[in-house]
A and B are shown apart, each in its own frame.
Chain A
Amino acid sequence: MTIDSNTLFQNYFTNHKNYDEVLKSNMKINPEWGDLLSNLITAGPDELISRQKEIDWLMDENGVTYNVYNDPKGLHRAWDLSIVPFLIHDKEWLTIEKGLKQRAELLNLILKDVYGKRELIKNGIVPHEVLFAHRGFLRQCDQIKYNTSKDLLIHAADLARGPDGRMWVVNDRTQAPSGLGYALENRFAMNKAASNLFNGINVKQPSDFFQDYNQMLIDAAPKDIDNPNIVILTSGPHNETYFEHAYMSSFLGYPLVKGNDLVVRNGRVWMKSLKELKQVHVILRRVDDVYMDPLELREDSYLGIAGILDVIRQKNVSIVNPIGSGVLENSGLIPFMNAICKYFFNEELLLPQIASWWCGQEKERNHVLKNIKKYVVKRIDRSNRESIYFCEFLNEAKLNKLKEEILANPYRFVAQAKIQFSTAPEFIEGKLEPRKIMCRTFAIAKKDGYSIMPGGLVRVAAERENLIVSNQRGGISKDFWIVSDTQQNYFHNYAWDNTFRNPVSDINDLPSHTAENLFWSGRYLGRALVTSRLLRMCLNSMQSSQYKNGEVPPENLKIIFEAITGITHTLPGFVGKGKEDVLKNPLKELNALVLDSYKVGSLAQTLGSFNNSYYTLRNLWSKDMWRVFDGIKKLWNKHDKDKEYSVAALIKLLDSTITRLIAFMGLIEESILVDQGLLLYFIGLQTEQASLTIAKCRSLIVASYDEDLEYEMLEALLSSHESLNIYRYSYRSYLSVENVVKLVILNDKYSRSLTYQLSRILKDIGKLPLPTGITGNSKCYDLIHEANQIILKSNIDTLLELDETEAVRENLEDMLSELSELLHQTSLSISDTYFNHSYQQNQLVNQNFPLQ
């Protein structure tokens, strides 16, 4: 191999300070990397750049995101996957796997002991403070017994290669470990975009591991439950790994729920579905321990389920991992792990750990205080960056403050040696460069042990000399290969055994929260589309009447401006106080109506609301939907709300938006099943469209004008309604109020007419499950039925009659206003009946203490 001379490696050898995965200390290439390196060289820099682009594109297309807190661009940041994988040979992996199994077994026994007999403390193996002073030790979970084969069902560990060439354990993750979904998606993306790199290399596939994972969830079910209802509990779209929550939900086929979808009654946990309460047996949670039960744990939590701890005690529900397992995320345990291992297994700990000194012991504390600059100091129960002190970088004052803190509560602190982790090649600007890496591994409980995922998730430090590897700062990830000398099975997309699957099979079981978001997605989308068309009609009228900004607008434009303020509920606007000034520069107001996301009622704001409810439905997305959705976002990101765009520029933006919205709506209809809740989306969409049809008619055709103006208004209505062509086709005549009312309001065949929309809502509401306990019709059905009756019984001649002043079509106005009210009531009634959020969770006594 001519690696040294290859341009890819030009920078690899210079300034090389660390232990490297590829280069051995004698500067020879590690043979295990040979095949991958030659595949990289064969591809060459140009090909690698284009493959990397392909991966970036795939991640973007598939909506793989990672949210970073406190970062304005952080929400839904794209996930970065490197073209260069990380690899470990099977031979070494076997040893690591053995060590990981031992560690998982050990932590499992510690967990049982901490909440059980506490022999480790009683026998002096672990000082009591390491457990009792850890905020993850939850006294409420004391003595809870579980039916599962292990207490600890999932264990994730962060590994890095230490200076001795072995893999060291850096952290344990035991509450709700993340990374599995990202690891899986990384593998899919590599297979798709960089299949050449696999040439001649046997990479172990995680298929069996995911079977075990699913089986673990099923086995966790309470006794005698053969076909358990399993749900995935998320804290919501703002969580940093929300993508993964949704991804695992669609991958495993279990519903994604939030805390307020679940409720404790009669000693069991229930999911609020449209039809009724449905019992839940297993909860795979992505919510941290203390947020799980506001009754017994953090009172101010809205992410959990009040009373669930008692259901767990009664063994009527299982939580994966059990609540209280956070006590194992404990750097204070590290110095004692060897002794614990001897105590339980009478053997040595297989995987080394970072040398650590627990400050609760006098000798150790004195040593740490004396040599503090050499160490990284952490709190035993905090692993976030804010609580880690890299003492070499601290000034005198900060060091003294830290020392004081240690002395005040020494048992809270651990000091760790800082070590140089190994580096691996990373593809940067056409060249390979060494970067520090960290591997996250996963273990899953089985009946007789633990199953280890072959590989896992590898994360890369952002800069060459960076010490810290973390996604919180937006790092890069790598696919993690375990390479074998023997042939491996090809990795297929998962085809589960059908007996495994426990899908939400019909609309009765739809979680009410999902239903609510679908309903609102429909409403927001409907509003976005109607508002876009309305604004476009207005801008087109300005253009065709050759109106120049600043002129006194002609009568027809004035009415349209006023109608827009009314329909979008954006008073004062063109109607209220200060309208004279607004009318002097209508374009400014129209710009704000389109682009100002802070203006309630604007198109930008509606799209923003849609955005939010849409993200919470992420597990229902198809890739095509994401693509179109992303297209809308990118289009809008190009526009700056502080600029004033011309009429033509706004029309162009609206044209593109409308096309994309329609494409998106079409995709929703074909990607989501009626049983998955599409019905709710339709009801929301039609309700919104019908309401806005009413609002438009009331603003534009209820008042009677002279012939010319009336013609303008009819044309405005029809064009904002996209109905000019249909009108011409149906009536082949000059526009008349009578025909327009017949088409837009009374036609029962035309899908954009009010009559049609109302009958569609009636039909769809009729298909909703009747909640248990209600007989006859639901209230929302009765309301929408009444609306349908009113419009069916109306008579065109009566509707067209003018009042005595001959200015207003009074009967038309009365009917429209009545229908508007009924629609509003229907919507409220749907919320009351199906969404069940009318009552808030509160504390009986305010217990909002300054919690640590």
Chain B
Amino acid sequence: MVFQLSHTTSYKYGNGVTFCHNIATLKPRDFLGQTILSYDLEISPKPTEISERTDFFGNTITRFSIQQYHKELKVIAKSKVLRDYTLAPDIHKSESGLTITLDEAKKELKSISPEILEVKQFLLESILIAKISKNIRDYALKSFKPDRPIFEATSELMLRIFTDFEFNSNATNVATPIQEVMENKKGVCQDFAQIGIACLRSIGLPARYVSGYIETLPPPGKEKLIGTDASHAWFSVYIPKFGWVDFDPTNNQIPQNQHIIVAYGRDYYDVPPLKGVIYSSGANKMKVAVDIRPAVD
């Protein structure tokens, strides 16, 4: 499946900006099962400086600065992505991955093999997922038992988040603490992903945050509108003897071809799509539009 993807972010500044430095984490990752055929970042006004590098988590980030006075900033990330999840290892075909229990997994995680050392950092507290409270751990423990396979338990956890939490984009913002989300059981994909991660870490399993996109399909018989798709987020758990497995608690599904992956991090804080420092004295207005559709050549 080949997708063409565009992600437009625009800012309108009340009093204008004299100067800005920004960092964009918008380029989809390239890995077995997802190939980037083309990628282009259009920025207006044209940046004075722009450079690309790989961050600690292997994501591609673009840093740019605009040194002229401007009242509007527009950043459009356009890419063409070949997605074929069947190329990646499939957990359903891995006997050891499907059956490994929590106790066994914890034993495996004691190893100091390079792979285990690498994933273990996703067990630690991170900026937005810190001081995990007892009720989050209790929530996790309803699904996770020492002898139960962790794949099965995580699938159940995903289903429970999907059922117990209400999708409500007015209930939270990027700074809402996970404890509050847990109590109110309301939020958006980013909150659900972080709840999932907090649950998994609380019982000793490495979990990471995945930021990306999901293709949404129009109701049957209707034409798809442009810009209705959204940035999306879900979580990924490390299953020893197999590897990372993604779970999307917002949609209760294990991502396949409809999910495009942009970045991995410990939580949202590591991978915001766009951030920056601006020199200005007024307020600003932001607009985001995402569009994903099968590519037509």
Q: Which residues of A contact B (CB under 8 A)?
A: 121-122, 124, 128-129, 132-133, 139-140, 142, 263-267, 294-296, 299, 306-307, 310, 313, 408-409, 411, 838-852
Contact string against A for B residues 187-231, beta-carbon threshold 8 Å, 1 for contact and 0 otherwise: 000000000000000000000000000000000000000000000
Instruction: Give Cα A317–Cα B7 distance, bound, in whole angstroms.
Output: 35
Least distance between A387 CB and chain B CB atoms (Å) = 15
Question: Please, which residues of chain B bring their CB within 8 A of the CB of A264?
Answer: 21, 65
Asked if A849 and B120 make an inter-chain contact with CB atoms under 8 angstroms apart, the answer reads no
Least distance between B49 CB and chain A CB atoms (Å) = 6
Asked if A267 and B125 make an inter-chain contact with CB atoms under 8 angstroms apart, the answer reads no
Instruction: Give Cα A713–Cα B57 distance, bound, in whole angstroms.
Output: 77
Question: Please, which residues of chain A bring their CB within 8 A of the CB of B53?
Answer: 313
**Which interface class (under 10, 10 to 19, 20 to 34, 35 or more) fits B?**
35 or more
Question: Please, which residues of chain A bring their CB within 8 A of the CB of B65?
Answer: 264-265, 307
Asked if A307 and B21 make an inter-chain contact with CB atoms under 8 angstroms apart, the answer reads yes
Besides A142-B55, A840-B280, 17 more A-B contacts (Cβ < 8 Å) are A140-B56, A267-B49, A299-B275, A307-B63, A307-B65, A408-B131, A409-B125, A839-B18, A841-B277, A842-B277, A842-B278, A844-B284, A845-B286, A846-B174, A847-B174, A849-B269, A851-B127
Least distance between A839 CB and chain B CB atoms (Å) = 4
Considering the complex, give the chain A residue whose CB is closest to the CB of B273: A845
Most chain A CB inside 10 Å of its own CB: which residue of B18, B57, B124: B124
Instruction: Give Cα A295–Cα B275 distance, bound, in whole angstroms.
Output: 8
Q: Which residues of B contact A (CB under 8 A)?
A: 11, 18-23, 48-49, 51, 53, 55-57, 63, 65, 67, 112, 114, 117, 120-121, 124-125, 127-128, 130-132, 174-175, 177, 269-270, 272, 274-281, 284, 286
Query: Which label, helix, strand, loop or mixed, suits the secondary structure of the A interface?
Result: loop
Asked if A133 and B272 make an inter-chain contact with CB atoms under 8 angstroms apart, the answer reads no
Asked if A310 and B63 make an inter-chain contact with CB atoms under 8 angstroms apart, the answer reads yes
Asked if B124 and A411 make an inter-chain contact with CB atoms under 8 angstroms apart, the answer reads yes
Question: Please, which residues of chain A bring their CB within 8 A of the CB of B11?
Answer: 844
Asked if A849 and B127 make an inter-chain contact with CB atoms under 8 angstroms apart, the answer reads yes
Question: Please, which residues of chain B bring their CB within 8 A of the CB of A142?
Answer: 55-56
Instruction: Give Cα A847–Cα B269 distance, bound, in whole angstroms.
Output: 8
CB<8 Å pairs between A and B, sample of 18: A122-B114, A128-B120, A132-B120, A132-B121, A139-B55, A139-B57, A140-B55, A140-B56, A307-B21, A310-B63, A839-B19, A840-B279, A841-B277, A843-B276, A846-B174, A847-B275, A851-B127, A852-B127
Contact of B21 among A306, A409, A838, A852 (CB under 8 A): A306
Instruction: Give Cα A127–Cα B51 distance, bound, in whole angstroms.
Output: 34
Asked if B286 and A852 make an inter-chain contact with CB atoms under 8 angstroms apart, the answer reads no
Question: Please, which residues of chain A bring their CB within 8 A of the CB of B128?
Answer: 849
What 7 A-B pairs come out closest when comparing CB atoms?
A844-B276, A139-B56, A306-B277, A839-B279, A307-B21, A132-B121, A133-B124
Instruction: Give Cα A846–Cα B120 distance, bound, in whole angstroms.
Output: 30
Question: Please, which residues of chain B bring their CB within 8 A of the CB of A838?
Answer: 281
Asked if B21 and A848 make an inter-chain contact with CB atoms under 8 angstroms apart, the answer reads no
Asked if A840 and B281 make an inter-chain contact with CB atoms under 8 angstroms apart, the answer reads yes
Question: Please, which residues of chain B bring their CB within 8 A of the CB of A266?
Answer: 48-49, 67
Known contacts A140-B56, A267-B49, A307-B65: does B278 contact A844 (CB below 8 Å)?
yes
Question: Please, which residues of chain A bring their CB within 8 A of the CB of B18?
Answer: 839
Instruction: Give Cα A752–Cα B21 distance, bound, in whole angstroms.
Output: 49
Instruction: Give Cα A140–Cα B63 distance, bound, in whole angstroms.
Output: 13
Asked if B121 and A845 make an inter-chain contact with CB atoms under 8 angstroms apart, the answer reads no
Instruction: Give Cα A192–Cα B57 distance, bound, in whole angstroms.
Output: 57
Question: Please, which residues of chain A bring their CB within 8 A of the CB of B114?
Answer: 122
Question: Please, which residues of chain A bring their CB within 8 A of the CB of B67?
Answer: 265-266
Least distance between A509 CB and chain B CB atoms (Å) = 22
Question: Please, which residues of chain A bring their CB within 8 A of the CB of B131?
Answer: 408
Considering the complex, give the chain B residue whose CB is closest to the CB of A412: B125
Contact of A844 among B56, B124, B275 (CB under 8 A): B275
Least distance between A850 CB and chain B CB atoms (Å) = 7
Instruction: Give Cα A175–Cα B78 distance, bound, in whole angstroms.
Output: 41
Asked if A307 and B117 make an inter-chain contact with CB atoms under 8 angstroms apart, the answer reads no
